[in-house]
Amino acid sequence: MVVAVTGGICTGKTVVAQELARSLGTEFISLDGLSHKAIERGSKGYWKVVKAFGREILGSDGEIDRRALASLIFEDPKKREMLEGIVHPLVEAELRKTLEELGGKAVVEAPLLIEKGMHEEVDFTVLVYCSKEVQLRRLMERDRLQVEEAERRIKAQLPLQLKVAFADYLVNNDDGLHYTREQVLRIARDILKKSPGGSP
């Protein structure tokens, strides 16, 4: 059984996915983690990205500077599509391999789950959201951005209202870890009830 956790940038997907994996007693997979691995220095993805975007996206250590790459793609939808076209197939292949190794049981944190149509391939979809103010503040603090740039990055994503239709469960991540955990536990109990034999 595969449970996917998705949501907008800086809504707290990782915390929710890790808590849910713990509650279900299953493994946690981060697609962000897999995408970082896909473009590590020397990998096939690394050379494809460097060829597409030029050496100016490289840091002094020769690794891809993710901050420089992010500012490039968030300003240009065509460049964002180009990057996704390179990275997404590599991530999907790695995900399938990892799920096979885990016997098809995991909680997967997948930022672009709905945008890429991957929600059709999982058993349950959990959508994490928070208020625009909280999201903006978290993004500005995390990536040290000015408000205009942070707003631009949020607007570049699929709006929450469109994602809700594809979700089996919603988690409001506005009010601290205690409240988030309560919601996650309720969801985990419900998922276990719906699973054959009461196990993920």
First to last CA, the chain: 6
- The residue range of the domain holding 76 is 33-101
Q: Is there a single domain that holds both residue 113 and residue 180? A: yes
Q: Is there a single domain that holds both residue 15 and residue 62? A: no
Number of folded domains that form the chain: 2
Asked if the structure places residue 200 within a domain, the reply is: no
Question: CA angle at residue 159 from 140 to 120, to 5 degrees?
Answer: 120
Q: In this model, does residue 45 exceed pLDDT 90? A: yes
Q: Is there a single domain that holds both residue 81 and residue 95? A: yes
Question: CA angle at residue 183 from 182 to 185, to 5 degrees?
Answer: 65
80-91 residue pLDDT tens: 999 999 999 999
**Could you tell me where the DSSP H helices lie in 104-198?**
132-143, 147-155, 160-164, 177-194
- pLDDT for 197 equals 62
Q: In this model, does residue 113 exceed pLDDT 80? A: yes
**Mean pLDDT computed over every residue of the chain:** 93
To the question of pTM greater than 0.85 for the whole model, the response is yes
Domain at 17, CATH number? 3.40.50.300
If one compares 175 and 200, the residue with the highest pLDDT of the two is 175
If one compares 197 and 98, the residue with the highest pLDDT of the two is 98
Q: Is there a single domain that holds both residue 71 and residue 55? A: yes
Q: Is there a single domain that holds both residue 92 and residue 140? A: no
